[in-house]
Amino acid sequence: MIKPTIKSSDKILAVLLLLSVLMVGQIMNENINSIRLAALSGSAKPKVDVDKVKAKLRQAGLTPYEAKYWKIIDARPQKD
Amino acid sequence: MKTNRFLSIVFLAIFCTGALYYHFRQSQSNDINLENKALTDIFTGPEKVHPKLGSPPRYDIYQTRPDNPEVLAAVAFNTYDITPRIKGYAGPVKLLVAISTDGTIKDVRVLKHSETPSYVFTLDEFMAQFKGKNIADSFQLGKDIDGITRATMTSEAVARSVDKGAKAIGRQILELDVGGPSGDRPKTLSYIHIIVPLMLFIVAVGGVLGRNTFLRGLALLTGFVYLGLIKSTMVSVVQLVNIGMLKFPDFVTNPLWYCLVVMTLLSSVILGMVYCGSICPFAGVQEVLFHLGRKLKWEELKFSHKVAGQARYVKFGILFVVLAASFIIGNSSAANVEVFLILFAAHASQAGWAFVVFILTLSVFHFRFWCKFLCPIGAFNGLLADKSIYKIQFGPECGGCGVCDKVCPVGAIQMVDDKPLIDYPECTLCNKCVEKCPKEILFLTRNRQQGLTKHD
């Protein structure tokens, strides 16, 4: 194994510091974005009890759409 | 010395200008723009939003029908207008709450906050719990609402302000029978959070003054367990920015914040880097990892004095950039880049976790890599330590043997013309130089000013 000399390790330090600064920048960017988008992030998403809703729909004689599968196959459910 | 003076002036200029800019902008603007943005986002239909008015201040939202007169459909309000005294970890959390006329919470949006972003990344999920609830319901944290892990103060502030604000609007404006807000927990000053940090600093200072390695180790261990694991509270740039923004938490609910800030500032001004050297939980983690690396006989990464000395200015750069960015965007959360906050908060994005792993790995190969080159609050403490009343200094009998230079684990001592030059902003007061000096002429004493320091 090659032992790093002081000179070569100085180059390593420069690379490590560059990487660190880039990561700090990325984290700061994420923080700033989280603040900027706070009011418009569509923050409150309802927690829906899917099974409960499906049961109610079936009780009412309807068939629930599985929206997520439409998204996967990049299509839209047909309108009645 | 000249460089440190220059850095101090740059720091003061950025801090003072930034704080003034922030307060000037605050006085010029209010939350109306944010409220309007949130309202536009919530009410996307043909509803008509009337301007904010009344007491308590609120927005009335009317349903518009072509043939009928306008019918009140919902009411929205900024929680800060009704419950300004409720604070999170770092000041008020301002929320816009929209309520239907039947008392159902239609939506809750965050307008402004200064909480730790790594905690608040999960705020969306937390907010979703309020949607669809009736304002007459109970909003007790832990019972009716699940809090955000390790962010109890933020969660409680949100739950209490939604609860109190919504019930006040429900009673006074919508004339609903909603009862009183869920009982507040009685506020009592927790003396333990004053006594423990005080003891911690006493032990740390005892270790420095008595050159006692055991006490230093004990302080580091207690700092790790109490500040890191139990309280997840550390001295950081976020606190510095909050001081500039005059955002202070409630003393009764968070005395630890005050104790840490006051004692760190005092100890830095009197003795130097006591907090960084003997208390910081992340410093302890780094030291343990470094010694583990030596036990495993892994090659240590050593850098030349000259390059390492220059690389230390990176942390000042980070300090200045995060300060400026925080004051410009008006939120201390931008300053939340410190690796120890991410680690001990245990909430982070992928980039955050990658950074933690990166720094911990480097700590195995180089002693206190984060502290030496990157820590922005360490840079600030260093500027205070440079002007501390007591300093490690050497007597005129120094023969220039260079032992102190060799034993200093952070490389804060450099031999120039057979005399040790001490870089005080880097000295962690570990006392290794004092212990090993063969002539016993290095000692902690009142600053005599005649001692040479680095950058002279």
Q: Residue B111 and residue B80: Cα distance in Å, rounded?
A: 10
Question: Can you tell me the mean pLDDT for B294-310?
Answer: 90
- Look at A34 and B121 and tell me if their CB atoms are within 8 Å: yes
For B306-410, where are the E strands, in sequence order?
390-394
Q: How far is B270 from chain A (nearest CA, A)?
A: 31
- Look at B112 and A38 and tell me if their CB atoms are within 8 Å: yes
Confidence of residue A39 (pLDDT cuts 50, 70, 90): very low
- Look at B110 and A39 and tell me if their CB atoms are within 8 Å: yes
Q: Residue B401 and residue B406: Cα distance in Å, rounded?
A: 10
Comparing A43-47, B103-107, B159-163, which segment has the lowest mean pLDDT?
A43-47
- Tell which of A35, A36, A52, A53 to mutate to test the B interface (max B CBs under 10 Å): A35
Kindly report, as residue ranges, where domains of CATH 3.30.70.20 are found in chain B: 390-446
- B29 exposed, middle or buried (CB, 10 Å; 0-12, 13-18, 19+)? exposed
Q: Where are the alpha helices (DSSP H) in B64-109?
A: 79-82
Q: Residue B366 and residue B341: Cα distance in Å, rounded?
A: 21
Q: Which of residues 26-55 of A touch B (CB under 8 A)?
A: 26-28, 30-32, 34-36, 38-47
Structure tokens at B402: 């260079």
Question: Can you tell me the mean pLDDT for B353-359?
Answer: 95
Cβ atoms of B433 and B413 closer than 8 Å: yes
Q: Residue B314 and residue B376: Cα distance in Å, rounded?
A: 9
Which residues are within 8 A (CB) of B130 and not within 5 positions of it... i.e. 6 or more apart? A44, B97, B105, B108, B139, B145, B162
pLDDT of residue B121: 53
- B49 exposed, middle or buried (CB, 10 Å; 0-12, 13-18, 19+)? middle
**pLDDT of B350 strictly over 50:** yes
**pLDDT of B453 strictly over 60:** no
Q: Spell out a b/e string for B186-195, using b for 16 or more CB atoms within 10 Å of the CB, else e.
A: eeeeeeebee
**pLDDT of B455 strictly over 50:** no
Q: For residue B20, what is the DSSP state?
A: H
Confidence of residue B277 (pLDDT cuts 50, 70, 90): very high
Closest CB from A6, A12, A47 relative to B128 = A47
| B231 against B16, higher pLDDT | B16
Q: Which of residues 21-40 of B touch A (CB under 8 A)?
A: 34, 37-38
pLDDT in tens, B197-250: 999 999 999 999 998 889 999 999 999 999 999 988 889 999 999 899 888 887
Identity of the amino acid at B197: P
**B345 Rama sector, left if φ>0, alpha if ψ -120 to 50, beta otherwise:** alpha
Q: Residue B449 and residue B456: Cα distance in Å, rounded?
A: 12
Q: Residue B368 and residue B197: Cα distance in Å, rounded?
A: 23
Q: Which of B126, B132, B56 is nearest to B100 (CA)?
A: B132
Say whether residue B361 is in contact with chain A using an 8 A CB cutoff.
no
Confidence of residue B441 (pLDDT cuts 50, 70, 90): confident
**pLDDT of A4 strictly over 70:** no
Question: Can you tell me the mean pLDDT for A6-26?
Answer: 90
Comparing A9-23, B64-78, B209-223, B349-363, which segment has the lowest mean pLDDT?
B64-78
**pLDDT of B145 strictly over 80:** no
**pLDDT of A38 strictly over 50:** yes
**pLDDT of B123 strictly over 80:** no
**pLDDT of B70 strictly over 50:** yes
State what percent of residues in chain B have pLDDT above 70. Answer: 91
- B27 exposed, middle or buried (CB, 10 Å; 0-12, 13-18, 19+)? exposed
Q: Residue B279 and residue B257: Cα distance in Å, rounded?
A: 15
From chain B, the residues in CB contact with A12 under 8 A are: 301
Q: Residue B385 and residue B364: Cα distance in Å, rounded?
A: 27
| B305 against B144, higher pLDDT | B305
Say whether residue B353 is in contact with chain A using an 8 A CB cutoff.
no
Residue with tokens 């669809």: B132
Average pLDDT score, chain A: 69
Closest CB from B37, B129, B358 relative to A47 = B129
Integer angstrom CA distances of residue B205 from A55, A59, B170, B200, B282? 66, 71, 55, 9, 18
Work out how many CB contacts closer than 8 A connect A with B: 127
- B327 exposed, middle or buried (CB, 10 Å; 0-12, 13-18, 19+)? buried
Confidence of residue B450 (pLDDT cuts 50, 70, 90): very low
How many Å is the maximal CA-CA distance in chain A? 77
Partner residues linked to B71 by β-bridges = B63
| B416 against A72, higher pLDDT | B416
Q: Residue B353 and residue B372: Cα distance in Å, rounded?
A: 20
Top mean-pLDDT range of B15-19, B102-106, B409-413: B15-19
**pLDDT of B456 strictly over 50:** no
Cβ atoms of A39 and B94 closer than 8 Å: no
Q: How far is A4 from chain B (nearest CA, A)?
A: 8
What single string gives the DSSP state of each residue in B414-453?
EEETTEEEE-TTT-----HHHHH-TT--EEEEE--S-S-B
pLDDT of residue B449: 53
Q: How far is A74 from chain B (nearest CA, A)?
A: 26
- Look at B301 and A9 and tell me if their CB atoms are within 8 Å: yes
CATH of domain B390-446: 3.30.70.20
Structure tokens at A16: 């490590």
- Tell which of B29, B34, B104, B110 to mutate to test the A interface (max A CBs under 10 Å): B110
From chain B, the residues in CB contact with A19 under 8 A are: 358
From chain A, the residues in CB contact with B374 under 8 A are: 17, 20, 24
pLDDT of residue A65: 60
**pLDDT of A58 strictly over 50:** yes
Which residues are within 8 A (CB) of B150 and not within 5 positions of it... i.e. 6 or more apart? B119, B232, B345, B346, B347
pLDDT in tens, B28-69: 666 788 888 888 888 887 788 888 888 888 999 888 776 667
Tell me the residue length of chain A: 80
Question: Can you tell me the mean pLDDT for B313-333?
Answer: 92
Q: Which of residues 373-402 of B touch A (CB under 8 A)?
A: 373-374
pLDDT of residue B6: 94
Partner residues linked to B61 by β-bridges = B49, B74
Question: Can you tell me the mean pLDDT for B315-340?
Answer: 90
Closest CB from B123, B311, B331 relative to A13 = B311
- Look at B107 and A19 and tell me if their CB atoms are within 8 Å: no
Q: For residue B106, give the 3-state DSSP assignment.
A: strand
pLDDT in tens, B177-188: 877 766 666 667
Element (H or E) spanning B77, and its range? strand B71-78
Average pLDDT score, chain B: 86
Neighbours of B453 (CB within 10 A): 17
From chain A, the residues in CB contact with B125 under 8 A are: 45
Question: Can you tell me the mean pLDDT for B354-358?
Answer: 95
